[in-house]
Amino acid sequence: MILKELGRNRMIIINYYKNGFLQTCKGYVQKLNLNDQSIDLKDERQNLLNIRISWIHDVTAVSK
């Protein structure tokens, strides 16, 4: 279910755990790397975030 949502080209919100803390980011998936099991997400400020798939708690699509 998570990979299906990550493959679509639209704004998403990802809640993920990093260093034991729940973090939230909102943006567009730039790259889905299944070999490294990570995604690159470009947020609203054009910053590129690298998130491991195993860290992801849930993914929500942003409706227009």
pLDDT in tens, 7-40: 677 889 999 999 999 999 999 989 888 899 999 9
Which residue spans within the chain are E strands per DSSP?
Answer: 12-18, 21-33, 38-43, 48-52, 56-61
Angle, vertex CA 28, rays to CA 24 and CA 34, nearest 5:
90
Task: Walk me through the domains of the chain, giving residue ranges and CATH numbers.
Answer: 2-61 (2.30.30.520)
The mean pLDDT of 45-64, rounded to a whole number, is: 89
Read off the pTM.
0.80
pLDDT confidence of 61, banded at 50, 70, 90? confident
